[in-house]
């Protein structure tokens, strides 16, 4: 592959100051580095004269470094660095290019100097324009420290002599290209390995994109700015060029900062061109404009573009490392070693080389690492990745690389659909969540060619079928992915198309979205054309819609049979995951519309299915369903135990889709138990959580009915009910606080007897009507006994059915005799 043009001249530019070469000085060189806004100045020591032995006659000046721009954030890093320096003699500020290591170093120097921490001086030496060839690092130090070059011996000896008896701090900036490797240490490791033992009171701080590997080194990782800090920096720098970022543009500005990975240098370069760049909206919507943001020459030597920084780093890589950097740039949002190996196999890098090359790029700060579910994932900062993509685009092998990339994630999705319901389920789902950006990019590539459109749809179908989007609380993301695939589907109907439509209907329905109706209608039409009315996914989505959206309770009860048929279809086809989901929804449906005995049997069976598969996430949902059955039919305290067990597991496994429903259910349980304040606050918190996952209870009929019934009783008993709901919404600024409230034991609250709970839901007259229904009296007899009209009796019976969540007179009799008057 050919690298993009311009790298050859980069190293020359790095060694230039405002268009010319830096002249040698006898004064100490100090930089004011605004994390991208890098300005050079000379600070003369208070006494810059030299004694005859070549040593400056006094300590360095106490003047602070000249800063042309304000310093944003980093207080925690400064404190951590000072803490390290209290005991460590060598600290490396480690991080990617442009992250602000140099500016942090200079601020640290100023604060330590002002505090008088090092009486013999704080010395800052720049090494970025020192060639890796030869032995010039020590000479550059001597030069910038003002040591007269009038001795015959090596510069290192002069440095040793200078620092031998000094309690001083030596700060070496931009060391990465002088580090070398383990087998052959470079100039800086050798310099420090000699200097520190010979000067026992000397302390050193370095900045580098590579760890030095010197004994006693303490590494302090410098991360990109936090979003709020990045936004503050962007606003400050934009203001300097006359651009005011309004409150209305705040979200766009935050997105721009995210696009720039929170890198101070990139943010400053972007802000510096706001006077000529497009509007924020255009920038955010067109990421390709990133090149405009960071391109162009700079007036100041160290105000170079990120492209120059990255190009320089790229030049320092071996040919294999350069190829690896280009290949892995196709990944979106990170990757693991399995994915890298799959892409590299078609890119000319052997499997045995992958791990070492990745490790090398990590050491050189061109890759970041994180541990996800016990496995290492790699990630490139976006600006570095864009550079790599340009290298790929300039090569002739891009189609092959893209095909390998898409093929890998197509296989990942298929494997997930087949294996998600089983041991290690949370790990599988978490890893899939991490791959969503790659899945989107892979699908985009597959959909770009007519011959692979079907695979692009399959990828979305398989990933959605794995429940990964439900686990992540990103059902809308699934719908978008499925819709993109269907937009490219040919006119001729297919089972692939039908599966995608059914999944859109499912995802939309569990969100309470109106989109579900249209998707289900289209699915029914495609199924009719294909003669596939018994297709498992169709039965499942049809049953789910009937359960959650049908206001007529008699019709909604038909969902129990539909979901049972779907479960059988999935069992016959050997699809264990979809079979469990059909059984789970069937159990929930039975809890709402079945008898108590049916509800408890269905919930127990679904818990047994999940337990037998050792699928922990599925077990949590089965427990949630047991809680629902207990709440609606028997014991609210048992419901609390099941619901809290489910919520606890889901929070620990970082499930994003389940906990909002756990909050909702525990809120209703708290209200049923008479803990009205807590229940109201949890309802408020649940509202916020549901908004975050774009889920609307208002669009889910059975849940809405139960909520209305329980809230009606609570409002009668607790005047501050609505105010406490608002308190819960405020509390949800910290969702952790809401979940802590939900997990508090219910032991201190006395549960109202079942008779009291059931009776509290009805008016006095409705309770009288229910009693007479339980005595098998007809409407006319009830009207005569209570001296009311038969029409009024019918109205009261409708109210009782609605409040108790029932559908027949027989169910009223059963509920009354069980919960209100069990003695009879």
Q: What is the DSSP string of 444-511?
A: HHHHTSGGGHHHHHHHHHHHHHTTHHHHHT-HHHHHHHHHHHHHTS-SS--HHHHHHHHHHHHHHHHT
Q: Can you name the residues that pair with 207 across neighbouring β-strands?
A: 93
509: nearest Cα among 303, 695, 230, 669: 695
Write the CB contacts of 183 (distance below 8 Å, at least 6 apart in sequence): none
Q: Which residues of the chain fall below pLDDT 70?
A: 1-70, 129, 133-134, 146-153, 269, 272-279, 282-310, 312-313, 365, 382-383, 691-699, 733, 747-757, 822-824
Q: Can you name the residues that pair with 221 across neighbouring β-strands?
A: 94
The first and second tokens of residue 743, run together, are: 């997990």
Q: What pLDDT shows up at residue 696?
A: 67
The first and second tokens of residue 367, run together, are: 């890759």
* Phi/psi of residue 31, nearest 5 degrees: -110, 145
Report residue 501 CA to chain centroid gap: 28
Q: What pLDDT shows up at residue 55?
A: 34
Q: What pLDDT shows up at residue 12?
A: 28
d(CA 479, CA 642): 31
d(CA 147, CA 323): 43
Q: How many residues does the chain have?
A: 824
Q: What pLDDT shows up at residue 291?
A: 52
Q: What pLDDT shows up at residue 759?
A: 74
Q: What pLDDT shows up at residue 430?
A: 92
Q: What pLDDT shows up at residue 663?
A: 94
Beta-carbon count within 10 A of 824 CB: 9
- Answer left, alpha or beta for residue 74, where phi above 0 means left and psi between -120 and 50 means alpha: left
Q: What pLDDT shows up at residue 606?
A: 96
The first and second tokens of residue 23, run together, are: 């002249």
Q: What pLDDT shows up at residue 309?
A: 57
Q: What pLDDT shows up at residue 712?
A: 86
Taking each helix axis from N to C end, the angle separating 676-692 and 735-743, rounded to the nearest 10 degrees, works out to 140
Query: Would the pTM of this model clear 0.85, i.e. be above it?
Result: no
């Amino acid at each position: 592959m050919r690298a993009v043009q311009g790298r050859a001249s980069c190293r020359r530019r790095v060694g230039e100051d405002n268009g010319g070469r830096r002249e040698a000085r006898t004064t100490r060189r100090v930089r004011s580095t605004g994390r991208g806004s890098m300005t050079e100045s000379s600070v003369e020591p208070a006494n810059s004269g030299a004694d005859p032995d070549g040593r400056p006659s006094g300590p360095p000046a106490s003047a602070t470094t000249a800063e042309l721009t304000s310093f944003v954030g980093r207080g925690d890093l400064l404190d951590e660095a000072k803490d390290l320096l209290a005991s460590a003699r060598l600290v490396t500020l480690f991080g990617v290019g442009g992250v602000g290591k140099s500016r942090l170093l200079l601020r640290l120097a100023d604060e330590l100097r002002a505090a008088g921490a090092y009486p013999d001086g704080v010395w800052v030496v720049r090494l970025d324009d020192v060639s890796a060839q030869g032995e010039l690092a020590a000479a550059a130090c001597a030069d910038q420290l003002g040591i007269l070059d009038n001795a015959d011996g090596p510069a290192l000896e002069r440095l040793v002599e200078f620092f031998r008896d000094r309690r001083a701090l030596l700060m070496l900036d931009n060391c990465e290209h002088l580090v070398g490797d383990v087998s052959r240490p470079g100039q800086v490791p050798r310099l420090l390995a000699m200097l520190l033992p010979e000067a026992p009171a000397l302390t050193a701080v370095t900045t580098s994109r590579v760890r030095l590997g010197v004994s006693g080194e303490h590494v302090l990782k410098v991360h990109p700015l936090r979003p709020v800090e990045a936004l503050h920096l962007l606003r400050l720098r934009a203001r300097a060029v006359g651009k005011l970022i309004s409150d209305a543009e705040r979200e766009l500005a935050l997105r721009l900062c995210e696009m720039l990975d929170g890198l101070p240098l990139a943010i400053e370069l972007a802000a510096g061109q706001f006077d000529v760049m497009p509007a924020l909206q255009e920038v955010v919507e067109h990421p390709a404009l990133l090149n405009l943001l960071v391109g162009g020459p700079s007036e100041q030597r160290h105000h170079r573009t990120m492209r120059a920084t990255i190009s320089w780093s790229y030049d320092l890589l071996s040919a294999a490392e350069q190829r690896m950097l280009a290949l892995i740039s196709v990944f979106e949002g990170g990757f693991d070693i399995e994915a890298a190996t799959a892409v590299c196999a078609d890119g000319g890098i052997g499997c045995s080389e992958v791990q070492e090359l990745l490790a090398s790029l990590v050491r050189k700060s061109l890759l970041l690492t994180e541990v996800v579910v016990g496995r290492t994932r790699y990630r490139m900062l976006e600006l570095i990745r864009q550079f790599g993509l340009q290298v790929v685009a300039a090569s002739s092998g891009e189609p092959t690389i893209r095909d390998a990339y898409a093929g890998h994630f197509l296989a990942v999705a298929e494997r997930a659909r087949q294996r998600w319901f089983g041991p290690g389920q949370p790990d599988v789902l978490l890893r899939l969540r991490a791959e969503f950006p790659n899945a989107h990019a892979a699908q985009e590539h597959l959909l770009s060619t007519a011959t692979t459109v079907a695979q692009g749809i399959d990828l979305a179908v398989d990933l959605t079928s794995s429940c990964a989007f439900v686990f992540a609380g990103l059902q809308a993301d699934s719908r978008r992915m499925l819709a993109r695939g269907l937009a490219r589907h040919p006119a001729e109907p297919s089972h692939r198309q039908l599966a995608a439509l059914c999944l859109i209907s499912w995802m939309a329905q569990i969100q309470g979205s109106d989109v579900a109706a249209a998707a289900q209608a289209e699915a029914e039409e495609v199924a009719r054309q294909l003669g596939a009315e018994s297709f498992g996914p169709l039965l499942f989505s049809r049953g789910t819609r009937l359960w959650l959206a049908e206001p007529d309770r008699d019709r909604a009860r038909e969902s129990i049979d539909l979901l049972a048929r779907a479960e059988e279809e999935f069992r016959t086809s050997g699809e264990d995951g979809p079979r469990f989901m059909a059984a789970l929804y069937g159990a929930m449906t039975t809890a709402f519309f079945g008898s108590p005995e049916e509800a408890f049997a269905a919930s127990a069976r679904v818990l047994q299915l999940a337990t037998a598969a050792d699928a922990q996430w599925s077990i949590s949902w089965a427990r949630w369903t047991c809680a629902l059955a207990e709440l609606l039919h028997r014991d609210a305290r048992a419901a609390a135990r099941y619901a809290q067990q489910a919520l606890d597991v889901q929070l620990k496994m970082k499930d994003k889709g389940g906990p909002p429903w756990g909050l909702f259910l525990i809120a209703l349980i708290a209200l049923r138990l008479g803990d009205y304040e807590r229940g109201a606050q949890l309802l408020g918190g649940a509202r916020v959580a549901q908004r975050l996952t774009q889920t609307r209870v208002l669009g889910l009929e059975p849940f809405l009915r139960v909520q209305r019934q329980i809230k009606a009783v609570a409002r009668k008993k607790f005047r501050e009910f609505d105010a406490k709901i608002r308190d819960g919404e405020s509390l949800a600024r910290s969702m952790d606080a809401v979940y802590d409230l939900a997990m508090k034991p219910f032991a201190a609250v006395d549960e109202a007897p079942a008779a009291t709970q059931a009776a509290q839901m009805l008016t006095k007259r409705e309770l009288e009507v229910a009693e007479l229904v339980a005595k098998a009296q007809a409407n006319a007899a009830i009207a005569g006994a209570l001296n009311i009209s038969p029409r009024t009796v019918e109205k009261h019976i409708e109210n009782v059915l609605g409040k108790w969540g029932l559908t027949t007179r027989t169910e009223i009799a059963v509920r009354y005799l069980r919960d209100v008057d069990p003695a009879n």
